């Protein structure tokens, strides 16, 4: 398949059947997210999945969460036209985000569109099972919230819907819900969701836990509680590092308020460098969907350090506070702010906010 063609004709013979009017599903959605395992044993968890197709999907998830988007996209391609709705939804979700990171925006948009069509069709049918409604709502809301796009429905956040998800996915859905509350500026509510979810997680689901900890970092930085933010960052890192699950850190960099620079840059320089590379590639694709679709022109010409400082400056942090947090001198912060204003063509610190993430 050339890079300008749309996928869907390369599915495995066992899954590439015409999609029927009644939804078919016999598998677990996003099986790796839904897997409990000890840090350092992610690939063991993938290999232990009995079903061949779920194992394929889980391997694609591993590639994605470990910062290998090209391999993730290749793994998901055979399932993009699957007759099994759950396999198709899993593949489309990972495929969309993997192609954001490789600048194949037309493929990412196509996968996002297929998810929305599936969600709409399932909800139009009165015969759709509640489990399938919950899973399609989960995928739709995850795609929208992570792109900072308007939700089609808050169905995925209802207690009834979440009850129909398998346990691991319920905790990732809590992350999505917490992220959504963060975007509404309701940081206390977001933290409440995070802390409750982590406290009541009956066994360790590392991928949902990593994402939950990162939302807590975002919330605490918004509340100027830097020590609490750093604590959650390190807890996320302890879960992620043994398996190299670094994608989430790159995805969230712009919202983490310089905590990556304050915690990982010195002690884990090689991993930090990889995370920054992920940030540049992912955020470039993310903006190409988010900016035109929302009319919100998130800045695309700042370095990651400049963006972190700009986010803090936009939230009213002083040069001294930014310097103390990031381990640089206030005069250096002042210089960075001048560069940021020049790059953005902004009139002053108050004007920076309109170019930042929300």
Residue 71, judged by CB atoms within 10 A of its CB (0-12, 13-18, 19+), counts as middle
- How many Å is the maximal CA-CA distance in the chain? 64
Residue 348, judged by CB atoms within 10 A of its CB (0-12, 13-18, 19+), counts as exposed
pLDDT tens digits for range 276-330: 999 999 999 988 998 887 778 877 888 888 888 988 988 889 999 999 898 889 9
What pLDDT does 23 receive? Answer: 59
Alpha-helical (H) ranges within the chain are 42-47, 52-65, 69-76, 85-101, 105-124, 130-146, 159-163, 167-183, 187-200, 206-222, 226-240, 247-252, 259-267, 269-294, 304-314, 319-326, 330-344, 349-352
Residue in the structure block whose two tokens are 């919230």: 145
Q: What is the Cα–Cα distance from 348 to 341, expressed in whole angstroms?
A: 7
What pLDDT does 6 receive? Answer: 55
pLDDT tens digits for range 168-188: 999 999 999 999 999 999 999
What pLDDT does 291 receive? Answer: 87
With pLDDT > 90 as the criterion, what percentage of the chain qualifies?
65
Q: Which residues of the chain have pLDDT under 70?
A: 1-24
What pLDDT does 346 receive? Answer: 84
Contacts 24+ apart (CB under 8 A), 266-272: 268/237, 268/241, 271/241, 271/246
Report how far Cα 226 is from the mean position of its chain's Cα atoms. Answer: 22
Q: Hey, what's the torsion of the CAs at 155, 158, 159, 161, to 10 degrees?
A: 0
Is-above-0.85 flag for pTM?
yes
Closest CA to 293 of 182, 144, 181: 144
């Amino acid at each position: 398949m050339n890079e300008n063609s749309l996928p869907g004709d390369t599915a495995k013979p066992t899954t590439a059947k015409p999609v029927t009017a009644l939804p078919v599903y016999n598998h677990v959605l996003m099986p790796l997210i839904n897997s409990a395992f000890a840090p350092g044993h992610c690939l063991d968890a993938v290999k232990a999945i009995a079903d061949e197709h779920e194992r394929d999907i889980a391997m694609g998830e591993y590639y994605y969460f470990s910062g290998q988007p090209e391999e993730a996209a290749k793994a998901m391609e055979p399932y993009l036209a699957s007759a099994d709705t759950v396999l198709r939804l899993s593949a489309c979700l990972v495929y969309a985000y993997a192609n954001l990171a490789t600048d194949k925006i037309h493929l990412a948009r196509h996968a996002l569109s297929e998810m929305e069509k599936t969600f709409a069709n399932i909800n139009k049918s009165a015969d759709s099972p509640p489990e399938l409604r919950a899973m399609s709502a989960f995928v739709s809301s995850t795609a929208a919230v992570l792109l900072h796009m308007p939700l089609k429905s808050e169905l995925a956040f209802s207690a009834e819907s979440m009850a129909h998800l398998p346990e691991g996915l319920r905790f990732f859905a809590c992350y999505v819900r917490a992220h959504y509350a963060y975007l509404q500026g309701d940081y206390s509510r977001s933290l409440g969701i995070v802390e409750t979810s982590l406290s009541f997680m009956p066994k360790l689901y590392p991928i949902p836990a990593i994402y939950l900890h990162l939302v807590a970092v975002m919330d605490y930085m918004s509340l100027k509680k830097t020590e609490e933010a750093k604590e959650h960052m390190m807890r996320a890192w302890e879960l992620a590092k043994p398996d190299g699950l670094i994608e989430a850190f790159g995805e969230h960099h712009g919202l983490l308020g310089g905590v990556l620079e304050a915690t990982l840059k010195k002690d884990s320089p090689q991993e930090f460098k990889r995370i920054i590379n992920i940030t540049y590639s992912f955020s470039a694709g993310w903006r190409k969907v988010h900016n035109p679709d929302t009319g919100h022109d998130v800045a695309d010409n700042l370095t990651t350090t400049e963006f972190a400082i700009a986010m803090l400056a936009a939230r009213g942090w002083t040069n001294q506070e930014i310097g103390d947090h990031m381990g640089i001198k206030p005069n250096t912060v002042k210089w960075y702010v001048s560069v940021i204003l020049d790059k953005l063509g902004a009139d002053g610190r108050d004007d920076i906010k309109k170019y930042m993430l929300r």
